[in-house]
Structures are given as structure tokens and as C-alpha cells.
Structure 1
Amino acid sequence: MTRSITPAIERGKHDKLHRREAFIEAATRVFAEKGYECATTREIADRALCSEGLIHRYFGGKRGLLLAILERKTQEARDVINAEVPEPDDLLVELDHVMTWWLDYAWKNRDFLRVSVAQAIVDPEIGRIVGTILTKQRTAIFRDMLLRHQRAGRIAPDVDIDAAAEGMGGVTFSAGFFEQVVFARDREDVRRRVSELASVMVRGIASCGRQGRQ
């Protein structure tokens, strides 16, 4: 009896995961196209080819769906950047790669970023996710990179890695979202200025640069 029930349970788990994925993908498109307030759970369910009632069962409603998308995108960004950005021995080269990668990521996800940032202003829980979880993930990527270079002796031992990583993450988000998306600055100009900032940052934390000023 147990052997006949187990496959059914496994199929049920698989179906649930498949439906959750379908809802997240559909909601991402609908939110980006119509905005959070105008998006309806009915349209999301229609796009996902699933029952509308399952949205409330799996996510607790539209707000829970947005939170799930934010968490998913945060993890996906970290996975992709770890896979796509090389780890050279040159600190400036790697920092420039990471910062410009974030610029491209913000541009590719600009419609959804507009929705999530706007909703974060009026919804405390969304604001917590955007302001805390997303920031921590972005900062962690810079921190891991800086720690590796510090251990290799390329960054001065007295540099506050957490503060440096937080600053780099903040600059990158500001340039990627506000400069490119909100203010519609020329993207090549934004990239050039970010590369210049990366050079300034490296001079400020590099071992040789700090030793030369002592």
C-alpha cells in the first residue's frame, strides 16, 4: 500500500512546484506590464493556466506573489553573477565587471523594478524585502569579492570590507535603477561614470595606494 501512495505524493509535490513556478512567471509579466495595483489575480491565473484560488493557497494573495518574485530574483541574480562574472587577479577588472553587470541586470529588469520599488514605498513588508533582503544579497556579492582580494593582499588589511561592500552596492543600485531607469540617462555615459567610480574605489582600498599615503 505504501509503495502505491508514495509515487502519488511525489507527483503531487511536483505538480505543486510546477504550478508555483507558473504563477511566479505569469505574475512577473503581468506586474511588469500593468503595475502592481492594476494587476489582478484572475489575469495572473489565466496566464499561468491555473486556478485563481491556488494563488491564495500558495502565496496568500497578490502581495505574497510579489514577495516570492522578489526573493526569486534576488537568488537568481546571485547565481547568475557567480556563473557569468570571472574572478581575475586584478581587483579593478573584477569590480568593473561586477558593477557593469548590475547595470545590465537593472536595465533588463527595469519594468519589474519600477513596480517593486514603487510598491515598496507604500507597503512596509515589500519595503523590508527591497530595502533589506535585496540590499544584503547585493552587498554580499561585493563583500565576497573584496574579502578574496584582501586575503590575496590586494586590499589593505585595515579596510572595512562591510562598509566598502555596502557603498559599492548602493552606488551600483543608484546608477542602475535611478540613473538608467528613472532619469533615463544615456546608458553608455552611466557605464563610463561607473567605471570611473570603480577606479577611484580601488585606489582608495588597494594595498599599494594606502601604503603610499602613509
Structure 2
Amino acid sequence: MPVISAERMQGRIDAIVEAASAVFAAKGYEAASIAEIARRAEVSDGLIYRYFSNKRDLLYRVLEAFYERVVAALEKEVAKDAGFEERLHALVRRHLGNFVADRELCRLFLSEVRVASDYKGSTIQTLNRRYASVLTGLIEAGIAAGEVKTDASARLIRDVIFGAIEHIAWPYVNGDGKLDVEATAQSVTALICGGICLPQQKNPEEAPRT
């Protein structure tokens, strides 16, 4: 058997993961088949099994790629030079936007993976914790900057925000109704900041002239 280059091997893997993502999104995990994924990736069934143990392994690789992408985007969003409220709004909007842009992958994660026995200790759980830590880090930075109350619990606020958003988005993820990302992001941000944000002193130089 001829030896293939590392680049070509990675290209095959990427093509399989991309095809699997499309098939899982279109048909769901149970209805998706390795044969259909292979046809979409233009490879043989056997080649898929050279790189992935089974369909479950492939699902995890799809969601790992998804999480790596959304974590990087969220970290970039929050790294912008802005005040706490503006950065929180950007984070909430980005998180809600994930449900719209990748509705089926979000549904697969919530219904197929997070509740499964093999989720604990998995790479996806590690990535999920990294994703959540972006929000706790933002809250801790807000406390340090004097923009958020010192007695605010970063972990509790994180759970409130992500829990509320998941509850709001779940009907949409299941194909029921619409999700207004901007309006919801504004409402959630206003609600949270109304409870934890400290009033900020205005710069005298910015005061309106009389």
C-alpha cells in the first residue's frame, strides 16, 4: 500500500468530518449512516473506519471541530477593548447566534452528547468548560475593573445566563418558532447588568457644555 503524506491524510479526515457534519445536521445522529457520509465525502466506507472507530467517534469529532470554532470566536469577541456591559452583550449575542447558525449541531450536543454516559471526561466536556470559562473570566474582569459588584458570583451568573439562553433557544432548536438574537441579547444583558453592574462615573471631560 503506498504511503500518503500527512497533508493528504489530514485532507481526507477534514473531508470526512465536513461530510459527517452535513449528514448529521440534515438527518440527525440515528438516521445518519456511515455509507451516506462516505458518499458525501467521496471516499469508501472502509476508509472512514481507518480514521474513526465508529459513528459515535465521528460524531464526537464533528462536535469537537464545532466547539473549537465557536470557542475561538467567543474568545475573540470578548477580547475587544470595551466596557463590561458592551462585552457581555457581545458574548450573549454570539452565544445566541450559535443556536441559529448551527441549530442542528447544537441540538445534537444537547440531546445526544451532553446526556450520554461517555460525555464526562471527554474532549467535548473540556471544550465546553473552556467555552463557559470565557463568561466567568469576563465577570471576574468586570469585578476587578470596578464595573461589577464585588459580591457577584461569576459561576452563579454564568449558570443563570447560559441556563436562561438554553431555555429560550430550546424550542427553536427543536424547530418550533423563531429566535430573535438581537432582542434577546439586549434583554438578557439588561437584566443581568441591572442586578450586578455598578454605576460608572462619567468622565468630566465628556460632560455636556451648558
Specify the TM-score bucket, using the shorter chain as the normaliser.
0.7 to 0.9
The amino acid that maps onto 1:61 is: N
Q: Flag the structure with higher helix content.
A: 1
Name segments (4+ residues, structure 1) moved above 4 Å: 126-131
Determine helix, strand or coil for the equivalent of 2:32: coil
Determine helix, strand or coil for the equivalent of 1:125: coil
Matches within 5 A, 1:46-61: 46-61=39-54
5+ unaligned residues in a row in structure 1: which ranges?
1-7, 210-214
Residue in 2 that maps onto 1:182: 174
> Comparing 64-73 with 200-209, which one deviates more in the overlay?
200-209
Residue in 2 that maps onto 1:31: 24
Deviation of 1:34 (Å): 1.5
Which of 202, 205, 213 is equivalent to 2:193? 202
> Comparing 57-66 with 195-204, which one deviates more in the overlay?
195-204
Residue in 2 that maps onto 1:106: 99
Q: Could you tell me whether the CA contact under 8 Å between 2:19 and 2:41 is conserved in 1?
A: yes
State the Cα deviation string for residues 52-85 of structure 1 (Å, max 9, x = none): 2232232211100101111111111011223345
Structure-2-length-normalised TM-score: 0.79
Structure-1-length-normalised TM-score: 0.78
User: How many aligned positions are there?
Assistant: 199
C-alpha distance in 1 between matches for 2:131 and 2:27: 27
Q: Are 1:144 and 2:137 counterparts?
A: yes
Deviation of 1:13 (Å): 1.8
Identity over aligned pairs, percent: 24
State the Cα deviation string for residues 117-160 of structure 1 (Å, max 9, x = none): 33237742258769944642331121122222222121122322
- Distance change in 2, residues 1:159/1:129 (3 Å): same
> Comparing 99-108 with 45-54, which one deviates more in the overlay?
45-54
5+ unaligned residues in a row in structure 2: which ranges?
201-210
RMSD across aligned C-alpha pairs, in angstroms? Answer: 2.9
Which of 7, 27, 34 is equivalent to 1:41? 34
C-alpha distance in 1 between matches for 2:123 and 2:178: 25
